[in-house]
Structure 1
Amino acid sequence: MQFLQPILLWGLLGISIPILIHLWQGKKGQVIHWAAMHWLSEQESSVAKGVRLENFLVLLLRILMLILLVLLLSQLYFSSTNTIAEPRIFHLFQPDMQLAEEYKFELQQALENEEEVYWADENLTPIESLEDLEEGGKVFDLQAALDKISPDATSLNLYLSNSVNALKSDFYLSPLKPNLFLGSAELLKSGTQVISIDGVKALEIGENGLLDSISDALGEASVINLDKALFTYFLGEITDSERVFVQASLDAITEVYGFDFVEEESMEDATLIFTANPPKVDTLDKIYFVSDTFSFAERSNLISLSDQLDFEHSELVQSGKLPEVILERFLDFSGVEKKDVPLSRGQLENRFLVESERAQEKRGNLNLLLLGLFTVCFAAERFLANRQGI
């Protein structure tokens, strides 16, 4: 038995109210006039005082009504002691053969204990034996896998590589706090990438992962050609102050890196869309920056910004990081590979937002019974009180 709103139990202090009223009425007494009263002496005609025994039942009913009301508001929840729920332990593996081999022993132990083991893909594919590790073709989709976790889960173990490129989204919504198991494999070092616009080499991704000018000795470099059509943008349903700061951010990117962004008059002709309303049509050839909204299950080309993009509301604008965010998201959308760096356990833990406690989602399962008892007590109290004239 538990109370889902235990703070409301302080309402039990209200029991003292009917007791004090009852004692006060008994102390005050009641004058009863009758025909031969004037024949009595002054001592014999004193007012009768004290608590009458026939009023005790009314007092008890009023106290019981207050108790039932407090229990009803406190959401009394009773769980049967005869049925003890068995723990359900979930294991989610990132589809990575090297990671699975590294935690092969933990995987074998989980299978022997008949715990639930899955690939962290969009279908939550089960792993039934070690032979399943040899199967490939699984697409890593952590949020989709977390959404399919049973609400009865008591423990969640996540096996992830400590790679910033593997975790695309900034945050993940998890049904409960996960236990993280990070891979220790070395990150793959990608070769030099060169960004060209319409066949003209412009910038390269330096060793520090930042955009830099073209060097003389590139060696073996992968060239990523970006069409000029990618550098078109459209300012949709946003405020005038947002337009000023978005335009200023694009101008800053153009000044530093030489990217020439061109404003279009219609959304159909632009690639970068700045708006306050999420698009209804799921088109993957555009990237949407949606301000003043927030969403966990984002599409890869839908960037939700929780504040308006002006100086009064947005921390990105106040700190001057809005151009950096726009450029980073734009390059990721354009296919420019981000430099891979390891993530610490603390950085990963901060990316998981845990849902509200399950207990708060419960509803008192004795509400109907308490309401019925309250109705019966109220009817009995009114009947006795009217009968006794109190």
Structure 2
Amino acid sequence: MELLQPFMLWGASAVAIPVILHFWHQKKGKTLDWAAMRWLQEKDQQQQRGFQFDNPWLLALRCLLLVLLAVLLSQPVFRWLRPSPAVQKIHLVQPEKIVVDNFRFELEEATRRGEAVYWIDGSTELVKKTDGWPDQPLFSPALLQSVINRLQKENTELNLYLVNDSRLANAPFIRVPDTYQLHLVPDSVSQPLRNYLAFSDGKKTFVNLSNRLITGQDLDPAARFLSAPIHTDSLTVLVRFNDKIEQQTVSAALDALSEVYSLDIQQEQRENPAKKYDWILTDTDVVTPKPETFYVISGTPKVQTVSNVIYVGETFSPQRTERVRNGQLPEWLGELLIAYFRMKPEKTELSPEQLKTVFVATARPDRQQPEADRNWVLIALVVVTGVERWVALKKNA
């Protein structure tokens, strides 16, 4: 027996109530002498000790009533009352060459065992051979959901063969049966190459497949990177603000960014015209920006016209800027740096945590409608109630 609401079974502890009431009514009352008692023959009575059950069958019926009520509220499902249906395995395959080539053995074995294999498209024909695949319409989570809804039945074990890319997260979630398996292949062919930074100490800074900024000796082997870094050696940064508070705020934010992500950042506060700077943060507008330098200019609400100059309409001070008050300035500067060096590609893979959010398992249909099983418990409850009332009236208890 399976309980869909097992916490309601705690109500069975209420059987203690009729037991307590039973012994409470057995308490001996106060003896009152009356005149005719002296004409009655005295009887030797044996003194009884301890508790004795009065009308034990009635007490058992009342306890059984409470137990049946608790079981009914727990929504039981009696699996042994019906034969267990066979589990039907369904394989849904995204018609992509990289998917078919990677899982060809699994799909051929499923076909040999007579299991259902379908392409994720508008057709409903079984796949007999995986040598070729149909012309796929534009893949989307809506298409995948419609195919799942069309093929999902009772006791279905679903196997999904998909390319792991960001298109899966275009929908809030995808409903799948509670027994499902994901077979994912990274889109290493069409995945764009990633940029990375290399420093003089041998460390490299890059964005991994989980979209996290990482600094280490080796690149992520699961991702694809360019053969050469987009920048080498340390990042030379000029921090030049007329406001001292703003100067200190930005400098502290860069120190925090360097410490958290192990970035090799060399700060300077006085400009050297003969020196090349990788990043300049200032509150003074630049007339002729250098193409190899990244500019972040505060307090100047102007429209961005070139890719390496960003105008911020607010100043970097705790009194005027919300992100500075909340301590988000280092993270925001890091995002600007990642965007400038194009270290985060547009098309990325989903992490295991993101996949758990996208694919939502739902209960089997037979678990959602246990009406027949509850009806049997309800009938038993009605019968026991009738017997209990008949015994109670007969014994006047």
Give the alignment's TM-score, normalised by structure 2. Answer: 0.52
Q: Name the CA distance, whole Å, in 2 between partners of 1:31 and 1:374.
A: 41
Question: 2:190 is paired with a residue of what secondary structure?
Answer: coil
Partner of 2:68: 68
Deviation at 1:355, TM superposition (A): 2.6
Q: Give yes or no for contact 1:90–1:155 (8 Å, CA) kept in 2.
A: yes
The code of the aligned residue for 1:352 comes to F
Q: Name the CA distance, whole Å, in 2 between partners of 1:153 and 1:374.
A: 31
Q: Give yes or no for contact 1:89–1:155 (8 Å, CA) kept in 2.
A: yes
Question: 1:155 is paired with a residue of what secondary structure?
Answer: strand
Matched, 1:375 2:382: yes
After the TM superposition, which segments of 4 or more aligned residues of structure 1 sit over 6 Å from their partners? 30-35, 41-54
1:385 to 380, 387, 392: 392
Question: 1:156 is paired with a residue of what secondary structure?
Answer: strand
Question: 2:9 is paired with a residue of what secondary structure?
Answer: helix
Deviation at 1:80, TM superposition (A): 3.1
Deviation at 1:180, TM superposition (A): 2.4
Deviation at 1:110, TM superposition (A): 0.9
Q: Name the CA distance, whole Å, in 2 between partners of 1:357 and 1:364.
A: 14
CA deviation vs aligned residue, 1:208-260 (integer Å, no higher than 9, x gap): xxxxxxxxxxxxxxxxxxxxxxxxxxxxxxxxxxxxxxxxxxxxxx96557xx
Question: 1:145 is paired with a residue of what secondary structure?
Answer: helix
Q: Name the CA distance, whole Å, in 1 between partners of 2:184 and 2:350.
A: 9
Q: Name the CA distance, whole Å, in 1 between partners of 2:172 and 2:24.
A: 65
Q: Once superposed, what is the RMSD of the aligned Cα atoms? A: 4.9
Partner of 1:314: none
The code of the aligned residue for 1:73 comes to L
Question: 1:160 is paired with a residue of what secondary structure?
Answer: strand
Q: Give yes or no for contact 1:8–1:74 (8 Å, CA) kept in 2.
A: yes
Segments of 5+ residues of structure 1 without an aligned counterpart are 191-253, 259-318, 321-337
- In structure 2, the CA distance between the partners of 1:378 and 1:64, relative to structure 1 (3 Å rule), is same
Deviation at 1:156, TM superposition (A): 2.1
Q: Give yes or no for contact 1:88–1:153 (8 Å, CA) kept in 2.
A: yes
Question: How many pairs align?
Answer: 265
Q: Give yes or no for contact 2:155–2:364 (8 Å, CA) kept in 1.
A: no
What does 1:1-390 correspond to in 2, within 5 Å? 1-28=1-28, 36-40=36-40, 55-80=55-80, 83-121=83-121, 123=122, 125-130=124-129, 133-140=132-139, 141-165=143-167, 168-169=170-171, 171-176=173-178, 178-184=180-186, 186-188=188-190, 339-356=346-363, 361-363=368-370, 365-390=372-397
- In structure 2, the CA distance between the partners of 1:159 and 1:362, relative to structure 1 (3 Å rule), is same
The structure whose Rg is larger is: 2
- In structure 2, the CA distance between the partners of 1:380 and 1:127, relative to structure 1 (3 Å rule), is closer
Identity of aligned residues (%): 30
- In structure 2, the CA distance between the partners of 1:105 and 1:72, relative to structure 1 (3 Å rule), is same
Q: Give yes or no for contact 2:165–2:186 (8 Å, CA) kept in 1.
A: no
- In structure 2, the CA distance between the partners of 1:343 and 1:374, relative to structure 1 (3 Å rule), is closer
Question: 2:62 is paired with a residue of what secondary structure?
Answer: helix
Q: Name the CA distance, whole Å, in 2 between partners of 1:67 and 1:349.
A: 39
Q: Name the CA distance, whole Å, in 1 between partners of 2:173 and 2:354.
A: 11
Deviation at 1:345, TM superposition (A): 4.8
Segments of 5+ residues of structure 2 without an aligned counterpart are 193-300, 306-327, 330-344
Moved more, 372-381 or 32-41: 32-41
